[in-house]
Structure formats: structure tokens, C-alpha cells
């Protein structure tokens, strides 16, 4: 029987741990965790994501601050806001929602966030810590951190002897995911669009992680029987069967056929997606513990 991972349930248990750590940090150290979320412009999808993040931060008991800036915000104005949030002792985590409007350069903004407040894990200091296997000192970007929670649930902390294949080599996901699997002792292959015979490479994987951004690209005959398949893709495709003009979300793997071969599989939606916000909350409470000189919880 294939196990379908319930990402919502796993995310809910992470959120419960965050809430309890938030309460104990407040009662033991008198510190309330604070998360600032910054959004620039009018992109409706970004506004929906940011509202969900701010709402979840409140639910966790954080001081939750949202800065909504107009489309015409200048680079200097945005940099000044990040500077103020860096200096604000009530704020432990800063997230600048991407993408920024075209006239703004995101890289200098992201790199200007203090690494200890970079709860997105996008600062080069945090990326470098993940790359060097220093997982205790930095902040790990949320989606790979969430995917690793699933991997640990299934396989435990030590992946010695297991082959892992990550399809995708982005800085945001593929590279940190490969580094986290390697740090857990897996034998890791980072595959991508230039990989020769990708299906054969994938068939070697005990843990297959798909992050290519192409709807249902991974087929059943790419999957080793019994393998764990983590699908990170979120692709909106036409769904005429639901009515004219309707769409639906699908992953990077053809779920139905892959589920017949895999031992464990994550669905889309409801798999990795809910974990991303949960891990953002986890990073914020970790950052707040560190700032208070307390041992942060593990997720």
C-alpha cells in the first residue's frame, strides 16, 4: 500500500510545536517572537500568500507586522524599511515577499536583511551554512526545510546507504535540498534539464524529489518501486472536466500512476505546500530563541 503524506496534518503539528515554544519563550524569558512581512505592489497572488503568512504568525502568538508598500516604492525607501526592521528589537524575522516590482532589485534587499533575521533563508550567509553542513547555526530556507521534515518522518534522521535524487538545481530549492539530504548522509544526485537519461537516473532513487516546475513530468516508470517521492511542483493547468475555463493545481509528478509504484508520495495540493508557511513560523521562533540566548526547538 502506498502511503500518501498528509502535508496539512504534518504542518499542523509543526504549528502546534511553534505555538508551545512561543508560549514558553514568553513565560520563561519575557520575549514575544516578532515577524515582519513586507510586500510591495499589487500582485494578487503575492497578497494572498502574505496575508496567509501574517495570519498564521498571529495564530502562533507572534507579534505580526505587515508592511504593505505601494508599487511606486523606490529602492531607497525599501532599503530604509529593511534597515529599520533590522534595528527593531521586537522583530526577530523579516520576510520580503518576492517577486518585487520590476524596477526594484531584489538581491541587494535580500542581502541587506540581517542573516539572523532572514527567516526565508535566502541570505548568502544562511545559504553558505546549509552548503557547508552547518545546520545548527543558520536558518534553512522554508520549502527544503519542510521537505526534509517529511523525509525524516519516513526514513529517520540518518539516510546512510540511501540514494536521493533531486530534480532541479535552483538556489531557492534544488541546491539547499541536495545539501540537506547530503548532510543527513544520503548519496545525492542533483539532476536537471541537461542530465542525460533523466528517467534512468531517477529510477535509482530511494528518495526522489521533483522540483522542475513542469506539470506531471515525472512518470511511473521513473520511480523505483517502493521509493519515497516528494513533489515540490505547483503547476496550474486547464481542467475542462471541471467546467469551461476551470483550472487545477498539479505537481511535477503524474500523481495517480506514480502512486502505484512509489512506497510514499506527497500530493499536490496538500503536500509540501502547507509546510512552507509552517517552516517560516518555525524559523521565526528559532530566531527569537537564539536572540534570547535560549536553545531553539528542533523541527
Asked whether residue 270 is marked as a ligand-binding residue, the answer is no
Neighbours of 197 (CB within 10 A): 9
28 is catalytic: no
Q: In 3-state terms, what secondary structure has residue 202?
A: helix
Q: Which residues of 1-30 are buried (b: 16+ CB within 10 A; e: fewer)?
A: eeeebebeebbeebbebbbebbeebeeeee
Asked whether residue 169 is marked as a ligand-binding residue, the answer is yes
Asked whether residue 234 is marked as a ligand-binding residue, the answer is yes
Decide whether 129 or 224 has the Cβ nearer to ligand GUN.
Answer: 129
- Which candidate in 117, 118, 120, 175 is catalytic? 120
Q: Report the C-alpha gap between 91 and 35 in whole angstroms.
A: 6
Decide whether 98 or 125 has the Cβ nearer to ligand GUN.
Answer: 98
Whole-number minimum distance, CB 234 to ligand GUN, in Å? Answer: 10
DSSP annotation of 231: E
Whole-number minimum distance, CB 112 to ligand GUN, in Å? Answer: 14
Calculate the CA dihedral of residues 123, 124, 126, 128 and round it to 10 degrees. Answer: 170
120 is catalytic: yes
111 is catalytic: no
End-to-end alpha carbon distance in the chain: 27
- Which candidate in 53, 129, 175, 291 is catalytic? 53
Asked whether residue 152 is marked as a ligand-binding residue, the answer is no
Q: Report the C-alpha gap between 208 and 217 in whole angstroms.
A: 13
Whole-number minimum distance, CB 272 to ligand GUN, in Å? Answer: 12
- Which candidate in 97, 117, 206, 252 is catalytic? 97
Q: Which residue is nearest to ligand GUN (CB)?
A: 98
Decide whether 71 or 221 has the Cβ nearer to ligand GUN.
Answer: 71
C-alpha distances in angstroms, 127 versus 79, 108, 291? Answer: 21, 15, 20
Q: Could you list the residues that contact ligand GUN (CB under 6 A)?
A: 95-98, 120, 142
Whole-number minimum distance, CB 192 to ligand GUN, in Å? Answer: 20
Whole-number minimum distance, CB 98 to ligand GUN, in Å? Answer: 4
C-alpha distances in angstroms, 43 versus 46, 52, 233, 266? Answer: 5, 15, 21, 28
DSSP annotation of 44: H
Decide whether 263 or 270 has the Cβ nearer to ligand GUN.
Answer: 270
Decide whether 98 or 217 has the Cβ nearer to ligand GUN.
Answer: 98
Calculate the CA dihedral of residues 7, 247, 173, 77 and round it to 10 degrees. Answer: -110
Instruction: Give catalytic residues, as residue numbers.
Output: 53, 97, 120
Binding residues: 168-170, 234
Residues at the binding site for NADP(+) are 168-170, 234
Amino acid at each position: 500500500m502506498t502511503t500518501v503524506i498528509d502535508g496539512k496534518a504534518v504542518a499542523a503539528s509543526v504549528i502546534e510545536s511553534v505555538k508551545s515554544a512561543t508560549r514558553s519563550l514568553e513565560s520563561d524569558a519575557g520575549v514575544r517572537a516578532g515577524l515582519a512581512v513586507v510586500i510591495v505592489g499589487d500582485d494578487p497572488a503575492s497578497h494572498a500568500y502574505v496575508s496567509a503568512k501574517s495570519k498564521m504568525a498571529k495564530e502562533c502568538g507572534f507579534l505580526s507586522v505587515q508592511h504593505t508598500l505601494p508599487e511606486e516604492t523606490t529602492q531607497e525607501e525599501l532599503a530604509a524599511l529593511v534597515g529599520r526592521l533590522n534595528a527593531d528589537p521586537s522583530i526577530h524575522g523579516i520576510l520580503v515577499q518576492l517577486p518585487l516590482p520590476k524596477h526594484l532589485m531584489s538581491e541587494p534587499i535580500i542581502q541587506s536583511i540581517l542573516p539572523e533575521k532572514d527567516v526565508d533563508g535566502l541570505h548568502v550567509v544562511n545559504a553558505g551554512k546549509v552548503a557547508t553542513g552547518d545546520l545548527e547555526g543558520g536558518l534553512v530556507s522554508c520549502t527544503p526545510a519542510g521537505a526534509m521534515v517529511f523525509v525524516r518522518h519516513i526514513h529517520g534522521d540518518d539516510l546512510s546507504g540511501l540514494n536521493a535524487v533531486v530534480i532541479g538545481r535552483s538556489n531557492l530549492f534544488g541546491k539547499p535540498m541536495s545539501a540537506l539530504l547530503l548532510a543527513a548522509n544520503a548519496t545525492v544526485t542533483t539532476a536537471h534539464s541537461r542530465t542525460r537519461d533523466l528517467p534512468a537516473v531517477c529510477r535509482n532513487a530511494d528518495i526522489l524529489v521533483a522540483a522542475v516546475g513542469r506539470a506531471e513530468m515525472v512518470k511511473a516508470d521513473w520511480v523505483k518501486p517502493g521509493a519515497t517521492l516528494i513533489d515540490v511542483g505547483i503547476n496550474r493547468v486547464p481542467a475542462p472536466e471541471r467546467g469551461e475555463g476551470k483550472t487545477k493545481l498539479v505537481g511535477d509528478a503524474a500523481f495517480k500512476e506514480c502512486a502505484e509504484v512509489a512506497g510514499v508520495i506527497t500530493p499536490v495540493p496538500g503536500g509540501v505546500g502547507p509546510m512552507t508557511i509552517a517552516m517560516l513560523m518555525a524559523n521565526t521562533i528559532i530566531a527569537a530563541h537564539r536572540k534570547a540566548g535560549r536553545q531553539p526547538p528542533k523541527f
